Structure 1
Amino acid sequence: MRARPSPHPPGHDDMAAAAALVDAAGQALVLVTNAANDDSGVSAAQLRVLAVVDRAGSVNLTQLAVALHTAPSSASRLCDRLEAAELLRRTADERDRREVWLVLTPTARRLLDGLSRRRQASIAAVMRRMTPDDRAALLQGLSSFARAAGIPLTEDGPAAQVS
């Protein structure tokens, strides 16, 4: 009896196995980094708000809601809590007083910097358990993955600083 030809293109099973492996690694990364964020006193949703504002420099409520894939009213409530915690500040646009921009406070900047250091330390602890060859292969693969996903890697960026 002859084997039936696969309905999938050649390499499909390899690609599915690779995708499953990347998914598992992504889950491991989330677990390691979430553990570093756990005692920050800020919820995961609030950390997402701070991350969006941090990446943008400043953002209005509509842009924030779009980035969070949520309703503006939900985003506004998150901002209310962050403002009460002195992590976020609302500022009126100089040209249009109806427009409000969200910016990080120095307290938020210190929080995010501290969390980043803790996450990186947690990741480094896991990577130290890898062989040097495995670490090099991981970094090469992550760089390729980021580029394929459209994430620009600059020569002076984090990936270039690793040896």
Structure 2
Amino acid sequence: MERPPNLAAAVEAAADALVGVLDSAVSRQDLTVSPTQLRVLALVTTRPDLNVNRLAEVLDVVPSSASRLCDRLEATGLLRRVADPRDRREVRLVPTPAAQSLLCEVKERRRRAVQGVLDRMPGRAQHELLLALAAFGQAVAAGADPGDSPARSA
């Protein structure tokens, strides 16, 4: 297969299609939380040291906005604020078991949606996609700052 004249644009279009599949797998009426709230839950699940100020930095919002997001998640029973055992002045954000369950459900729905698309692809194309995505991930990791970690998980 020949390299397209604008490979980056082709990859971006494919990424947009993938995001569309992932988004459609979890329709808004099926969820009790907004996409932003879902992202917050994913972040606090993968970053146990996250507090409201750090969450605001990751989301690129003011701390009061991040705090209101956490207030809404706490009111629905999906998030708790707990004192850090190492420094009681620090308050950590902790997902509840209900949040963990919600994230697992979302992840499973998204996997099924992606599998549905993969099932329509020839086996060889699936294998080539896997190799290409693995190489892409390695290239990202090779150029990443050791202090960076992915901010999007959901």
The TM-score with structure 1 as length reference comes to: 0.80
Within 5 Å, which residues of 2 pair with 1:29-68? 29-38=18-27, 39-68=30-59
Residue of structure 2 aligned with 1:80, choices 53, 63, 71: 71
Which 4+ stretches in 1 moved above 4 angstroms?
Answer: none
Q: How far is 1:98 from its partner?
A: 2.4
Please name the residue that 2:7 is paired with.
18
Q: 1:139 is matched by which residue type in structure 2?
A: L
Please name the residue that 1:144 is paired with.
135
Matched, 1:27 2:36: no
Cα 1:131–1:15 change in 2 (3 A) is closer
Please name the residue that 2:91 is paired with.
100
Q: How far is 1:66 from its partner?
A: 1.2
| 8 Å Cα contact 1:58/1:103 also seen in 2 | no
- Segments of structure 1 that go 5 or more residues without pairing to the other structure are 1-13, 152-163
Q: How far is 1:95 from its partner?
A: 3.8
**Sequence identity, in percent?**
48
Q: 1: CA distance between counterparts of 2:51 and 2:5? A: 40
Q: 1: CA distance between counterparts of 2:86 and 2:44? A: 20
Matched, 1:71 2:62: yes
| 8 Å Cα contact 2:70/2:79 also seen in 1 | yes
Q: How far is 1:16 from its partner?
A: 5.8
Return the structure number with greater relative CO, CA threshold 8 A, min gap 6: 2
Q: How far is 1:37 from its partner?
A: 2.3
| 8 Å Cα contact 1:36/1:118 also seen in 2 | yes
Paired residue total: 138
> Quick check: 110-119 or 67-76, which moved more?
67-76
Cα 1:75–1:15 change in 2 (3 A) is farther
| SS class of match (2:141) | coil
Q: 1: CA distance between counterparts of 2:66 and 2:8? A: 33
Please name the residue that 1:124 is paired with.
115
| SS class of match (1:31) | helix
